[in-house]
């Protein structure tokens, strides 16, 4: 049996596959990971299918064991501290957890919000409408991962093999840097005047502590619209920078509603959504407008990074005992 026992899980820890897609037109929130890059990387480190369900660990971390014997798993926890017994592990790692060992993932000084833990073949759970993504607000999906839970891998046949090394992944940083998020203006950029566009680009903004999987509220310069903040509802994409009546923008994230009635001055590009998702409250950043072509090129570069991570793997060695 390949099982993972949760000794301690903070709030906002859930199972997530790539999302419950195909039901936006029926008002269903897709959910899925906050940081799609780390989610995909966790699955790739275990050679899982891309849509395998992964534990998305909230900001306070997770402690777990493998009570039934050695368990192969992958952790992608940028900015977190990851320890297995006395071993300090890098934030992106494929490892074997022996019976009796504890894996401890906790907030680190570098700061990250969401960590991902993958099991061989994915975490087993009954799909709801074709997906193992959890949306707590509507009650769709497997639900939260809580202290005391025991989780099963889909593919017990790929349990830990003798002599399989622990491997850490060190990825080189990508431009433009963590203090700048790129966005494509629209779909309602024309409802904002030059002052609001300038304020958005000057910043600085920071994620407010009043944020969750649905939306990241931002603190920073307000963005008044020219003729009010009510529009007839239209669709909402993940990353939409939406501005309600008080002018304080918020960015719609994985648990967003499919439609809404506030104007959206821009949309954070997909390549930079993981950076935004991992920003701790209070860390300053600014927005940079880019073209669709630049956004697509950045997405391609990020996909290439996912596809070609292998050369960046390093075998980890630890002192015995």
Residues that bind another protein (CB under 8 A): 21-29, 128-129, 138, 140, 183-188, 231-237, 239-240, 257-259, 264, 267-270, 292, 295-296, 299-300, 303
Which is closer to another protein, CB of 22 or CB of 100?
Answer: 22
Report the C-alpha gap between 110 and 123 in whole angstroms: 28
Shortest Å, Cβ 129 to another protein: 6
Min dist. Cβ of residue 27 to another protein (A): 4
Taking the least distance from each CB to another protein, the nearer of 120 and 187 is: 187
Q: How far is the CB of 30 from another protein (least distance, A)?
A: 9
| Rounded Cα–Cα distance for residues 193 and 311 (Å) | 47
- Minimum distance, C-beta of residue 271 to another protein, in the bound complex (Å): 9
Reduce the DSSP state of residue 291 to 3 states and report it.
coil
Tokens 């239209």 sit on residue = 234
Cβ nearer to another protein, comparing 198 with 292: 292
Considering the complex, state which of residue 164 and residue 233 has its C-beta at the smaller distance from another protein: 233
Cα–chain center distance at 264: 22
Cβ-based nearer residue to another protein, 6 or 273: 273
- Please, what is the minimum distance in Å from the beta carbon of residue 295 to another protein? 4
Both tokens of 21, joined, read 């897609």
Structure tokens at 171: 């990825």
Peptide bond into 271 cis (omega under 30): no
Which residue reads 């074709």 in tokens?
130
Q: Do 158 and 118 contact (CB within 8 A), yes or no?
A: no
Give the chain's end-to-end CA distance (angstroms, integer): 26
Q: Closest separation between CB of residue 319 and another protein, Å?
A: 45
Dihedrals phi, psi of 91, to nearest 5 degrees: -75, -10
d(CA 71, CA 3): 7
Q: Shortest gap between Cβ of 289 and another protein (angstroms)? A: 12
Nearer to another protein, 146 or 259 (CB): 259
Asked if 108 contacts 280 with a C-beta cutoff of 8 angstroms, the reply is: no
Is the Cβ of residue 8 or residue 303 nearer to another protein in the bound state? Answer: 303
CB atoms within 10 A of CB 10: 17
């Amino acid at each position: 049996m390949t099982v993972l026992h949760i000794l301690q899980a903070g709030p906002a820890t859930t199972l997530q596959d790539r999302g419950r897609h195909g039901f936006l037109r029926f008002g269903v929130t897709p959910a899925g990971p906050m940081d799609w890059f780390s989610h995909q990387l966790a699955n790739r480190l275990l050679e899982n299918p891309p849509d395998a369900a992964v534990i998305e660990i909230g900001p306070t971390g997770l402690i777990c064991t493998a009570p039934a014997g050695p368990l192969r798993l992958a952790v992608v926890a940028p900015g977190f501290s990851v320890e297995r017994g006395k071993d300090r592990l890098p934030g992106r790692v494929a490892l074997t957890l022996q019976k009796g060992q504890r894996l401890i993932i906790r907030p680190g000084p570098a700061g990250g919000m969401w960590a991902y833990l993958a099991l061989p073949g994915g975490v087993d759970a009954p799909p709801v409408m074709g997906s193992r993504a959890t949306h707590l607000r509507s009650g769709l999906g497997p639900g939260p991962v809580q202290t005391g839970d025991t989780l099963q891998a889909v593919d017990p046949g790929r349990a830990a093999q003798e002599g399989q090394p622990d491997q850490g992944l060190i990825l080189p940083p990508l431009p433009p840097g963590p203090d700048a998020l790129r966005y494509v203006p629209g779909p309602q950029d024309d409802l904002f005047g030059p002052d609001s566009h300038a304020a958005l680009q000057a910043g600085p903004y920071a994620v407010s502590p009043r944020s969750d999987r649905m939306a990241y509220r931002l603190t920073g310069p307000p963005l008044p619209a020219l003729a009010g903040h009510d529009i007839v509802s239209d669709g909402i994409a993940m990353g939409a920078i939406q501005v309600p009546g008080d002018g304080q923008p918020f960015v719609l994230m994985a648990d967003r509603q499919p439609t809404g009635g506030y104007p959206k001055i821009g949309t954070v590009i997909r390549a930079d959504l993981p950076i935004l998702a991992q920003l701790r409250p209070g860390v300053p950043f600014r927005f940079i407008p880019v073209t669709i072509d630049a956004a697509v090129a950045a997405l391609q570069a990020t996909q290439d990074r996912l596809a070609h991570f292998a050369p960046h793997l390093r075998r980890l060695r630890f002192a015995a005992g």
